[in-house]
Amino acid sequence: MAELRVTLGPLQLRNPVLAAAGTYGYGLEFAESVPLHQLGAVVTKTLTLAPRPGNPPPRLVETPSGLLNAVGLQNIGLQAFLRDALPRLRELGATVIVSILGDSPEDVAAMAQQLDGAEGVAAIELNLSCPNLQDGSRLGLEPVRMVAQDPGATAAVVAAARGRTGKPLLAKLSPDVTDLAPIAQAAQRGGADILTIANTFTGMSLDPQTGRSRLGALTGGLSGPAIRPLAVYRVWYTARTVSLPIIGAGGIVRAQDALEFFRAGARAIAVGTANFADPAAPLRVLRGLERHMGRHRLERFAQLLGAPDPAPAGA
Protein backbone atom coordinates (compact mmCIF):
# COMPACT_ATOMS: atom_id res chain seq x y z
CA MET A 1 0.00 0.00 0.00
CA ALA A 2 1.36 3.42 -0.98
CA GLU A 3 2.39 5.77 1.83
CA LEU A 4 0.73 9.12 1.26
CA ARG A 5 1.83 10.99 4.36
CA VAL A 6 2.92 14.51 3.49
CA THR A 7 4.84 17.19 5.36
CA LEU A 8 4.04 20.84 4.69
CA GLY A 9 6.52 22.82 6.78
CA PRO A 10 5.38 22.25 10.38
CA LEU A 11 2.14 20.49 9.32
CA GLN A 12 2.04 16.73 8.84
CA LEU A 13 -1.01 15.28 7.09
CA ARG A 14 -1.98 11.65 6.57
CA ASN A 15 -2.40 12.35 2.87
CA PRO A 16 -2.30 15.34 0.48
CA VAL A 17 -6.04 15.58 -0.30
CA LEU A 18 -8.06 18.23 1.53
CA ALA A 19 -11.65 19.40 1.40
CA ALA A 20 -11.51 23.11 0.49
CA ALA A 21 -12.89 25.89 2.67
CA GLY A 22 -16.55 26.73 2.23
CA THR A 23 -17.40 23.63 0.25
CA TYR A 24 -17.58 21.15 3.15
CA GLY A 25 -19.42 23.18 5.78
CA TYR A 26 -17.77 22.46 9.12
CA GLY A 27 -17.13 18.87 8.01
CA LEU A 28 -19.95 17.45 10.11
CA GLU A 29 -22.53 17.97 7.36
CA PHE A 30 -20.90 15.11 5.41
CA ALA A 31 -19.72 12.96 8.30
CA GLU A 32 -22.43 10.34 7.85
CA SER A 33 -21.49 9.57 4.25
CA VAL A 34 -17.76 10.35 4.21
CA PRO A 35 -15.19 9.00 6.73
CA LEU A 36 -13.63 12.35 7.55
CA HIS A 37 -10.64 10.77 9.26
CA GLN A 38 -9.51 9.39 5.88
CA LEU A 39 -9.10 12.86 4.36
CA GLY A 40 -5.81 14.73 4.57
CA ALA A 41 -7.76 17.50 6.28
CA VAL A 42 -11.08 19.28 6.29
CA VAL A 43 -10.81 23.05 5.95
CA THR A 44 -13.82 24.68 7.59
CA LYS A 45 -16.11 27.29 6.13
CA THR A 46 -14.43 30.61 6.89
CA LEU A 47 -15.27 31.72 10.42
CA THR A 48 -15.47 35.27 11.74
CA LEU A 49 -15.42 36.51 15.34
CA ALA A 50 -19.18 37.11 15.38
CA PRO A 51 -21.70 35.03 13.40
CA ARG A 52 -22.65 36.46 9.99
CA PRO A 53 -25.76 35.92 7.89
CA GLY A 54 -23.99 35.97 4.50
CA ASN A 55 -25.23 37.54 1.30
CA PRO A 56 -28.78 37.81 -0.02
CA PRO A 57 -29.92 35.11 -2.51
CA PRO A 58 -29.39 33.98 -5.20
CA ARG A 59 -25.95 32.86 -4.09
CA LEU A 60 -24.98 30.37 -6.78
CA VAL A 61 -25.02 30.53 -10.57
CA GLU A 62 -23.72 27.82 -12.88
CA THR A 63 -21.47 29.03 -15.70
CA PRO A 64 -19.71 27.06 -18.46
CA SER A 65 -17.60 24.47 -16.56
CA GLY A 66 -17.80 26.62 -13.48
CA LEU A 67 -19.73 27.89 -10.52
CA LEU A 68 -20.12 31.53 -9.53
CA ASN A 69 -20.83 31.93 -5.82
CA ALA A 70 -21.58 34.81 -3.55
CA VAL A 71 -22.32 32.94 -0.35
CA GLY A 72 -20.53 35.66 1.58
CA LEU A 73 -19.30 34.78 4.99
CA GLN A 74 -22.35 33.07 6.39
CA ASN A 75 -21.02 31.30 9.47
CA ILE A 76 -21.82 30.47 13.07
CA GLY A 77 -18.93 32.48 14.51
CA LEU A 78 -15.73 31.16 16.05
CA GLN A 79 -17.09 30.66 19.59
CA ALA A 80 -19.99 28.48 18.44
CA PHE A 81 -17.65 26.47 16.22
CA LEU A 82 -15.25 25.80 19.08
CA ARG A 83 -18.11 24.89 21.43
CA ASP A 84 -20.42 22.87 19.17
CA ALA A 85 -18.54 21.56 16.13
CA LEU A 86 -14.91 21.04 17.11
CA PRO A 87 -15.52 18.43 19.86
CA ARG A 88 -17.52 16.29 17.39
CA LEU A 89 -14.85 16.64 14.71
CA ARG A 90 -12.28 15.53 17.28
CA GLU A 91 -14.36 12.46 18.13
CA LEU A 92 -14.51 11.59 14.44
CA GLY A 93 -10.72 11.77 14.18
CA ALA A 94 -10.84 14.46 11.48
CA THR A 95 -7.79 16.62 10.85
CA VAL A 96 -9.23 20.11 11.04
CA ILE A 97 -7.86 23.28 9.53
CA VAL A 98 -9.86 26.28 10.68
CA SER A 99 -10.33 29.05 8.13
CA ILE A 100 -10.71 32.54 9.60
CA LEU A 101 -11.23 36.09 8.39
CA GLY A 102 -11.31 39.36 10.30
CA ASP A 103 -12.10 42.96 9.43
CA SER A 104 -8.86 44.12 11.00
CA PRO A 105 -5.49 42.70 12.10
CA GLU A 106 -6.78 42.95 15.71
CA ASP A 107 -9.76 40.70 14.88
CA VAL A 108 -7.45 38.18 13.24
CA ALA A 109 -5.06 38.28 16.20
CA ALA A 110 -7.93 37.66 18.64
CA MET A 111 -9.17 34.68 16.63
CA ALA A 112 -5.69 33.21 16.26
CA GLN A 113 -5.24 33.44 20.02
CA GLN A 114 -8.49 31.59 20.69
CA LEU A 115 -7.52 28.87 18.23
CA ASP A 116 -4.00 28.55 19.57
CA GLY A 117 -5.17 26.71 22.66
CA ALA A 118 -7.87 24.69 20.90
CA GLU A 119 -7.24 20.95 21.01
CA GLY A 120 -7.97 19.30 17.67
CA VAL A 121 -7.11 22.30 15.50
CA ALA A 122 -4.25 21.13 13.27
CA ALA A 123 -3.70 24.49 11.58
CA ILE A 124 -5.21 27.89 10.85
CA GLU A 125 -5.93 29.09 7.33
CA LEU A 126 -6.15 32.85 6.89
CA ASN A 127 -8.71 33.67 4.24
CA LEU A 128 -7.09 36.77 2.75
CA SER A 129 -9.00 36.46 -0.49
CA CYS A 130 -12.76 36.49 -0.04
CA PRO A 131 -14.21 38.13 -3.14
CA ASN A 132 -17.31 39.13 -1.17
CA LEU A 133 -15.62 41.06 1.63
CA GLN A 134 -17.73 44.17 1.97
CA ASP A 135 -15.38 46.62 3.58
CA GLY A 136 -11.59 46.64 3.48
CA SER A 137 -11.38 50.19 4.84
CA ARG A 138 -10.31 49.14 8.35
CA LEU A 139 -7.31 47.51 6.71
CA GLY A 140 -6.47 50.70 4.85
CA LEU A 141 -7.71 49.19 1.59
CA GLU A 142 -10.20 50.41 -0.98
CA PRO A 143 -13.56 48.90 -0.03
CA VAL A 144 -13.60 46.48 -2.95
CA ARG A 145 -10.05 45.21 -2.52
CA MET A 146 -9.03 42.02 -0.80
CA VAL A 147 -6.20 41.70 1.70
CA ALA A 148 -4.36 39.39 -0.70
CA GLN A 149 -4.36 42.10 -3.36
CA ASP A 150 -2.03 44.23 -1.27
CA PRO A 151 1.40 43.07 -0.06
CA GLY A 152 1.41 45.40 2.97
CA ALA A 153 -2.02 44.27 4.18
CA THR A 154 -1.09 40.63 3.54
CA ALA A 155 2.07 40.87 5.66
CA ALA A 156 0.23 42.78 8.41
CA VAL A 157 -2.66 40.31 8.72
CA VAL A 158 -0.38 37.27 8.65
CA ALA A 159 1.94 38.86 11.23
CA ALA A 160 -1.04 39.67 13.47
CA ALA A 161 -1.98 35.98 13.55
CA ARG A 162 1.63 34.79 13.80
CA GLY A 163 2.12 36.89 16.91
CA ARG A 164 -0.60 34.96 18.73
CA THR A 165 -0.23 31.36 17.63
CA GLY A 166 2.36 28.67 17.23
CA LYS A 167 -0.04 26.55 15.15
CA PRO A 168 0.85 26.05 11.48
CA LEU A 169 -0.41 29.06 9.56
CA LEU A 170 -1.75 28.91 6.01
CA ALA A 171 -2.26 32.04 3.90
CA LYS A 172 -4.96 31.62 1.27
CA LEU A 173 -4.21 33.90 -1.63
CA SER A 174 -6.31 35.41 -4.38
CA PRO A 175 -5.59 34.55 -8.01
CA ASP A 176 -6.90 38.02 -8.93
CA VAL A 177 -3.59 39.87 -8.98
CA THR A 178 -1.22 40.89 -11.73
CA ASP A 179 1.70 39.23 -9.98
CA LEU A 180 1.41 36.70 -7.17
CA ALA A 181 5.12 36.79 -6.28
CA PRO A 182 5.13 39.95 -4.11
CA ILE A 183 1.97 38.81 -2.32
CA ALA A 184 3.39 35.35 -1.64
CA GLN A 185 6.63 36.91 -0.41
CA ALA A 186 4.66 39.24 1.86
CA ALA A 187 2.81 36.26 3.34
CA GLN A 188 6.13 34.54 3.96
CA ARG A 189 7.55 37.70 5.54
CA GLY A 190 4.52 37.92 7.82
CA GLY A 191 5.22 34.41 9.08
CA ALA A 192 3.01 32.11 7.00
CA ASP A 193 4.12 28.47 6.89
CA ILE A 194 2.08 27.36 3.89
CA LEU A 195 0.29 29.02 0.96
CA THR A 196 -3.08 27.95 -0.41
CA ILE A 197 -3.39 28.88 -4.10
CA ALA A 198 -5.99 29.80 -4.85
CA ASN A 199 -9.36 31.18 -3.91
CA THR A 200 -11.98 31.95 -6.56
CA PHE A 201 -11.67 34.51 -9.37
CA THR A 202 -14.00 37.49 -9.05
CA GLY A 203 -16.69 37.27 -11.72
CA MET A 204 -20.05 38.55 -12.77
CA SER A 205 -23.02 37.08 -14.58
CA LEU A 206 -25.77 39.38 -15.86
CA ASP A 207 -29.22 38.83 -17.29
CA PRO A 208 -28.73 40.42 -20.72
CA GLN A 209 -32.40 41.48 -20.91
CA THR A 210 -32.63 43.31 -17.59
CA GLY A 211 -28.98 44.04 -16.84
CA ARG A 212 -29.50 42.59 -13.37
CA SER A 213 -26.89 40.38 -11.78
CA ARG A 214 -27.82 36.74 -11.47
CA LEU A 215 -26.43 36.95 -7.92
CA GLY A 216 -27.85 38.78 -4.94
CA ALA A 217 -24.42 40.26 -4.20
CA LEU A 218 -23.81 41.60 -7.74
CA THR A 219 -20.40 39.93 -8.10
CA GLY A 220 -19.18 36.49 -7.06
CA GLY A 221 -16.26 34.09 -7.10
CA LEU A 222 -15.72 31.70 -10.01
CA SER A 223 -14.60 28.15 -9.24
CA GLY A 224 -14.64 24.69 -10.81
CA PRO A 225 -12.93 23.19 -13.88
CA ALA A 226 -13.21 26.54 -15.71
CA ILE A 227 -10.42 27.94 -13.53
CA ARG A 228 -8.12 24.89 -13.39
CA PRO A 229 -5.54 26.02 -15.99
CA LEU A 230 -5.43 29.46 -14.37
CA ALA A 231 -4.84 27.93 -10.94
CA VAL A 232 -2.25 25.42 -12.16
CA TYR A 233 -0.31 28.27 -13.77
CA ARG A 234 -0.39 30.34 -10.57
CA VAL A 235 0.83 27.42 -8.47
CA TRP A 236 3.67 26.79 -10.91
CA TYR A 237 4.60 30.49 -11.04
CA THR A 238 4.50 30.96 -7.27
CA ALA A 239 6.41 27.75 -6.54
CA ARG A 240 9.30 29.25 -8.51
CA THR A 241 9.32 32.44 -6.46
CA VAL A 242 8.82 31.37 -2.82
CA SER A 243 10.09 28.42 -0.83
CA LEU A 244 6.87 27.87 1.17
CA PRO A 245 4.95 24.66 0.49
CA ILE A 246 1.82 25.21 -1.62
CA ILE A 247 -1.63 23.64 -1.41
CA GLY A 248 -3.18 23.84 -4.88
CA ALA A 249 -6.89 24.39 -5.50
CA GLY A 250 -9.01 25.15 -8.53
CA GLY A 251 -11.25 22.81 -10.46
CA ILE A 252 -9.91 19.52 -9.14
CA VAL A 253 -12.43 16.76 -9.83
CA ARG A 254 -10.31 13.63 -10.26
CA ALA A 255 -6.84 12.28 -9.50
CA GLN A 256 -5.49 13.36 -12.91
CA ASP A 257 -6.32 16.96 -12.01
CA ALA A 258 -4.51 16.62 -8.69
CA LEU A 259 -1.47 15.18 -10.49
CA GLU A 260 -1.42 18.25 -12.72
CA PHE A 261 -1.11 20.45 -9.62
CA PHE A 262 1.64 18.24 -8.15
CA ARG A 263 3.53 18.53 -11.45
CA ALA A 264 3.19 22.31 -11.16
CA GLY A 265 4.79 22.28 -7.71
CA ALA A 266 1.90 21.87 -5.24
CA ARG A 267 2.64 19.60 -2.26
CA ALA A 268 -1.03 19.00 -1.45
CA ILE A 269 -4.37 19.86 -3.05
CA ALA A 270 -7.86 20.88 -1.99
CA VAL A 271 -11.09 19.79 -3.67
CA GLY A 272 -13.86 22.41 -3.63
CA THR A 273 -16.69 22.75 -6.13
CA ALA A 274 -16.62 19.03 -6.97
CA ASN A 275 -17.97 18.36 -3.47
CA PHE A 276 -21.34 19.83 -4.43
CA ALA A 277 -21.86 17.09 -7.03
CA ASP A 278 -20.28 14.37 -4.88
CA PRO A 279 -19.16 14.88 -1.27
CA ALA A 280 -16.94 11.80 -1.68
CA ALA A 281 -14.94 13.60 -4.41
CA PRO A 282 -11.84 14.08 -2.20
CA LEU A 283 -11.85 10.36 -1.37
CA ARG A 284 -12.21 9.46 -5.06
CA VAL A 285 -9.22 11.68 -5.81
CA LEU A 286 -7.29 9.97 -3.03
CA ARG A 287 -8.12 6.46 -4.29
CA GLY A 288 -7.11 7.54 -7.81
CA LEU A 289 -3.76 8.79 -6.51
CA GLU A 290 -3.20 5.47 -4.74
CA ARG A 291 -3.94 3.60 -7.99
CA HIS A 292 -1.60 5.89 -9.92
CA MET A 293 1.18 5.26 -7.42
CA GLY A 294 0.54 1.53 -7.56
CA ARG A 295 0.73 1.52 -11.37
CA HIS A 296 4.02 3.41 -11.28
CA ARG A 297 5.39 1.40 -8.36
CA LEU A 298 5.77 4.49 -6.20
CA GLU A 299 5.85 3.61 -2.52
CA ARG A 300 5.87 7.08 -1.01
CA PHE A 301 4.09 10.25 -2.01
CA ALA A 302 7.39 12.15 -1.85
CA GLN A 303 8.53 10.16 -4.91
CA LEU A 304 5.59 11.53 -6.85
CA LEU A 305 6.56 15.08 -5.91
CA GLY A 306 10.07 14.47 -7.18
CA ALA A 307 8.90 14.42 -10.82
CA PRO A 308 10.87 16.63 -13.22
CA ASP A 309 9.76 20.23 -13.83
CA PRO A 310 7.06 20.75 -16.45
CA ALA A 311 8.36 20.95 -20.01
CA PRO A 312 6.77 22.37 -23.18
CA ALA A 313 4.82 19.99 -25.45
CA GLY A 314 7.14 18.09 -27.76
CA ALA A 315 10.23 18.84 -25.70
Ligand X SMILES: Cc1cc2nc3c(=O)[nH]c(=O)nc-3n(C[C@H](O)[C@H](O)[C@H](O)COP(=O)(O)O)c2cc1C
Catalytic machinery residues: 130
Query: What is the rounded CA–CA span in Å between residue 265 and residue 287?
Result: 21
Least distance in angstroms from the C-beta of 96 to ligand X: 14
Amino acid at 209: Q
Which CB sits closer to ligand X, 99 or 154? 99
> Binding segment for ligand X among 3-11, 108-116, 221-229, 305-313 (CB under 6 A)?
221-229
Query: What is the rounded CA–CA span in Å between residue 299 and residue 160?
Result: 40
Please list every residue from 281 through 310 that binds ligand X, using CB under 6 A. Answer: none
Among 2, 4, 45, 239, binds ligand X (CB under 6 A): 45
Residue among 255, 249, 248 at smallest CA distance from 285:
255
Query: What is the rounded CA–CA span in Å between residue 57 and residue 138?
Result: 26
Q: Do 77 and 46 touch, CB atoms closer than 8 A?
A: no
DSSP labels for 70-85? ---S-B--HHHIIIII
Q: Determine if 71 is a binding residue for ligand X (CB under 6 A).
A: yes
Please list every residue from 174 through 213 that binds ligand X, using CB under 6 A. Answer: 199-200
Which CB sits closer to ligand X, 2 or 67? 67
Among 174, 188, 213, 223, binds ligand X (CB under 6 A): 223
Least distance in angstroms from the C-beta of 274 to ligand X: 6
Please list every residue from 232 through 251 that binds ligand X, using CB under 6 A. Answer: 249-251
Please list every residue from 265 through 284 that binds ligand X, using CB under 6 A. Answer: 271-274
Amino acid at 65: S
Amino acid at 294: G
Query: Residue 118 CB: number of other CB atoms within 10 A?
Result: 17
Question: Rule CB under 6 A: which residues touch ligand X?
Answer: 20-23, 45-46, 67, 69, 71, 99, 127, 172, 199-200, 223-224, 227, 249-252, 271-274
